[in-house]
Amino acid sequence: MEPPRELLLSKVNVQRIMVKMKNHKLNCLCGVCKSIRGETLGSNNPCFRGGVTLKKYQCKICNKEISTKTALYGRGYCRNCGNRTKEARNKMSLAKIGHTTWNKGLTGFKGYWTGKSNKDIIVKHHIDSDKTNNKESNFLKITQGRHRSLHWRGYEYLVKIGKIYDYLKDFFLKYEIVDTKINDGKVVHHIDCNRENNHSNNLLYLKDKKIHNKLHQETYKYLVRINMVNDYISWFLLNEEEKLPKTETIEELK
């Protein structure tokens, strides 16, 4: 249905149409000009199909809204319900027939897919923390799980030998940390590693977990700098001795 001629040719509309149409004529029959004049609204739109796009469709199971294409040409289910139907499960089973897994026949494969954890893999640890020094005397053979603990528990050792405040001073200078006593929702750190000791002198407030992790992990490099890394490794292995197999000794691990 054509809009009223008076509406189209009113002064305001003529000016608006002429600005938008630019080089087009007033009675141009192109689609752009027709849409500007309002001649393609509603049922006059060439893409109009009986109001199909205005109708909403729901999933057959959970009544969740789905697209028109899925409702009319698909199975009529949302993605979650469609994967749980018997029809979908049968299709998945048929798809696996004749399919070979990528790791079938591989020997010596270790990983989470085989039910084994990477923490049991033996790795070589650089004692002086210099990864370019690959001499055998600089290597310590240790499991992946204990290797992580070796870097983390250096903080506990510094507390034990009474050098923790020297380390904290060095760490705060390195990362330019000034305020550690203001509690404004930051990460709480216990200086003596005792979480039950909540005395104000034992608490430090760090800005995020990243800097808190660094505070623990960089203790190993600090022990290397002050030439106490060998004493720390001996202390660490003695604490881990209960978990080691009886056939192994500390000297064999070095």
Q: What is the pLDDT along the chain (254 residues), one digit of tens a residue?
A: 445 554 445 555 555 555 555 556 667 778 778 877 778 877 777 766 666 556 788 988 888 899 888 888 888 888 888 888 777 777 777 767 677 776 666 665 555 445 556 777 888 999 998 988 999 899 999 988 889 899 999 999 999 999 999 999 999 999 998 888 888 777 899 999 898 998 989 999 998 889 999 999 999 999 999 999 999 999 999 888 755 554 444 455 44
Residue 113 belongs to some domain of the structure:
no
Residue 112 belongs to some domain of the structure:
no
Q: Are residues 64 and 177 in the same domain?
A: no
Q: Are residues 10 and 59 in the same domain?
A: no
Return d(Cα 249, Cα 139) in angstroms, integer: 16
Residue 114 belongs to some domain of the structure:
no
* Nearby residues of 42 by Cβ (< 8 Å), 6 or more positions away: 48
Residue 78 belongs to some domain of the structure:
yes
Residue 16 belongs to some domain of the structure:
yes
Residue 93 belongs to some domain of the structure:
no
Helix axes 154-161, 144-152, angle to 10 degrees: 40
The predicted model scores a pTM of 0.51
Q: Are residues 159 and 230 in the same domain?
A: yes
Domain that holds residue 67: 53-87
Q: Are residues 38 and 74 in the same domain?
A: no
Tell me, rounded to whole angstroms, the distance of Cα 118 from its chain centroid: 20
Give me the long-range contacts of 37-44 (CB less than 8 A, separation at least 24): 37/3, 37/8, 38/3, 38/8, 39/2, 39/3, 43/1, 44/1
SS3 222: helix
Structural contact between residues 220 and 129, judged by C-beta atoms closer than 8 angstroms:
yes
Q: Are residues 141 and 233 in the same domain?
A: yes
Return d(Cα 63, Cα 120) in angstroms, integer: 49
Q: Are residues 34 and 62 in the same domain?
A: no
Structural contact between residues 66 and 57, judged by C-beta atoms closer than 8 angstroms:
yes
Residue 74 belongs to some domain of the structure:
yes
Residue 27 belongs to some domain of the structure:
yes
Q: Are residues 127 and 65 in the same domain?
A: no
How many domains is the chain built from? Answer: 3
Q: Are residues 180 and 217 in the same domain?
A: yes
Q: Are residues 62 and 38 in the same domain?
A: no
Place of tokens 């034992």: 202
Q: Tell which residue, 72, 69, 76, 5, has the closest CA to residue 37.
A: 5
Q: Are residues 123 and 249 in the same domain?
A: yes
Q: Are residues 145 and 192 in the same domain?
A: yes
Q: Are residues 148 and 186 in the same domain?
A: yes
Structural contact between residues 147 and 119, judged by C-beta atoms closer than 8 angstroms:
no
Q: Count of residues for the chain? A: 254
